[in-house]
């Protein structure tokens, strides 16, 4: 799958995705729709969970985010993110190779706050990870922060401790936005 940066300082640049079927990069159309819903990300502190190729976080950096923490458990995917960061000469990134639940617990205990949290787990794992997300995300969000969950279009993710702002379908994907 060919993936490119949609907007910002690195608009049009292609990025690499790890080979194989483990990673499903967010398509250009869905990524563009997500950032249209999110709005400006200038100087934002972003957490990209289940980062995969890093497409969403790289897009945020290209659009002016100050910092992005990429969390991904797969070693090859982390290498792809590092390679993309080098290729695009983007700074302000931290790549954490760790299971997302463990990373969330550590981030929460460190007192960090994020303006934007991007969540794109394997679609089949979403029901299993929602309770962990619901437990940790409220404490990680800045007061006007936003959580964007990408899921299968058939799923309606729920995070009871947050307020759903909107949920929209784009082909086989659904974007659901939550706020404190």
Instruction: Evaluate if residue 2 carries a pLDDT over 70.
Output: no
pLDDT value of position 30: 87
Helix/strand/coil for 53? coil
136, containing H or E segment: helix 126-140
Instruction: For the domain covering 3-179, report its CATH number.
Output: 3.40.50.150
Q: Rounded distance, CA 66 to CA 46, Å? A: 8
- Pull the structure tokens for residue 9: 């300082």
Rounded to an integer, the average pLDDT of 25-50 is 91
Between 180 and 21, the more confident residue is 180
pLDDT tens digits along 139-163: 999 999 999 999 999 999 999 999 9
Give me the pLDDT at residue 29, please: 83
pTM over cut 0.85: yes
Q: What does the pLDDT read at residue 136?
A: 97
Q: Span 47-58, mean pLDDT?
A: 95
Number of H helices, E strands in the chain: 5, 9
pLDDT of residue 1: 56
Domain spans of the chain, in order of start: 3-179
pLDDT of residue 19: 67
Distance of CA 65 to CAs 93, 121, 128, Å?
10, 22, 30
Write the CA distances from 60 to 7, 9, 11, 162, integer angstroms: 9, 10, 11, 22
How sure is the predictor about 23, in pLDDT bands with cuts at 50, 70 and 90? low
Q: Can you tell me the mean pLDDT for 17-42?
A: 80
Question: Which pLDDT tens digit goes with each residue over 111-124?
Answer: 999 999 999 999 89
Alpha carbon distance 1, 17 (integer Å): 8
Range 163-170, long-range pairs (CB < 8 A, 24+ positions): 166/37, 168/33, 168/37, 170/29, 170/30, 170/33
């Amino acid at each position: 799958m060919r993936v490119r940066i949609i907007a910002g300082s690195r608009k049009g640049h292609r990025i690499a995705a790890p080979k194989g079927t483990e990673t499903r990069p967010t398509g250009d159309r869905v990524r563009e729709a997500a950032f249209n819903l999110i709005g400006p990300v200038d100087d934002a502190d972003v957490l990209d969970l289940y980062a995969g190729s890093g497409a969403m976080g790289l897009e945020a950096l290209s659009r002016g985010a100050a910092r992005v923490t990429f969390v991904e458990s797969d070693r090859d995917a982390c290498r792809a993110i590092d390679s993309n960061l080098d290729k695009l000469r983007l700074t302000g990134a931290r790549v954490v190779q760790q299971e997302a639940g463990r990373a969330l617990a550590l981030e929460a205990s460190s007192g960090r706050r994020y303006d934007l949290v991007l969540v794109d787990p394997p679609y089949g794992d979403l029901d299993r990870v929602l309770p962990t997300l619901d437990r940790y995300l409220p404490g990680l969000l800045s007061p006007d922060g936003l959580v964007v969950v990408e899921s299968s279009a058939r799923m309606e993710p729920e995070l009871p401790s947050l307020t759903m702002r909107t949920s929209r379908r784009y082909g086989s994907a659904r974007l659901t936005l939550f706020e404190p």
